[in-house]
Amino acid sequence: MTITAAADGSALGNPGPAGWAWFVNENCWAAGGWPHATNNQGELQAVLELFRATAHLDEDLLILCDSQYVINSVTKWMPGWKRKGWRKADGKPVLNVEILQQIDEALQGRRYRFEWVKGHANHPLNEAADERARAVSTAYQNRTAIPSGPGWTGAGSTDGATGAPRTTEAPRTTEAPRVPAFTEEPAQPGLFDWAEEPATVSLTLNLDADTHTRLLSRARAERLSPEALIRSLL
């Protein structure tokens, strides 16, 4: 049997109030977050929490993820980082290393694979995870109870859990990760298809006048720079 689950993260303002979530079905999901973190940290934490929630099982695990950064970090770059003492090719420390080291430990002996799915493209499991991660981010922003979910109830469970989210005053993840100055990369297929993570990534966007105007208007409305707004959407 293969367990199929989506993992996703959210950060309002990026960095800002942040959430993570994994989702199998309406009766089997979990979410948590921090008052201040990045989208990538939410994405990584969702994967970590999914590994932890299924650690007692012997089934294969298929992780649906819309972040090329996360997939490549875990499946391509991590072995090289470990050999270099958790440093990148340019000698600088790996970003989000605390979460990555925990993922490295959690996946030992596990049978798993990742599958990239396009975000915000009506994929039902991805949309469900995204919705729950964003709900946690919003709860932190509004200082309301955290919708943490029923947790692991079994991939085929239809009883013993109502699917209604539990709410708690404290987050499931109590220690917020350190937020680097910039960690967010756009999740576009092929953009991170490198054997090893490069030192920097530069992107150029060609926008027509109408799109540029709408981008500026939305950025002003959300009190963000255009660059920060774009990062928050990736």
Q: Is 66 a catalytic residue?
A: yes
Annotated binding-site members for Mg(2+): 8, 43, 66, 130
pLDDT value at 169 more than 70: no
At residue 83, does pLDDT exceed 50?
A: yes
Residue with tokens 């991805």: 126
Hey, CA dihedral for 140, 142, 145, 151, is it positive or negative?
Answer: negative
Q: 36 an active-site residue?
A: no
Give CA torsion, residues 27, 30, 35, 37, to 10 deg: -130
210 pLDDT tier (thresholds 50, 70, 90): low
Active site residue 9: yes
Domain ranges (residues) in the chain: 2-196, 204-234
Residue 182 has pLDDT above 50, yes or no: no
Which is the catalytic residue, given 42, 43, 185, 197? 43
Decide yes or no: CATH 3.30.420.10 for domain 2-196.
yes
DSSP track, 102-162: HHHHHTTT--EEEEE--TTS--HHHHHHHHHHHHHHHHHHHT--EE---B---TT--SS--
Contact 50, 19 (CB under 8 A): no
Please give the model's pTM, rounded to 2 decimal places.
0.74
- Using a 10 angstrom Cβ sphere, with 0-12 exposed, 13-18 middle and 19 or more buried, the burial of residue 80 is middle
Whether residue 104 lies in the annotated active site: no
Of 122 and 159, the one with more pLDDT = 122
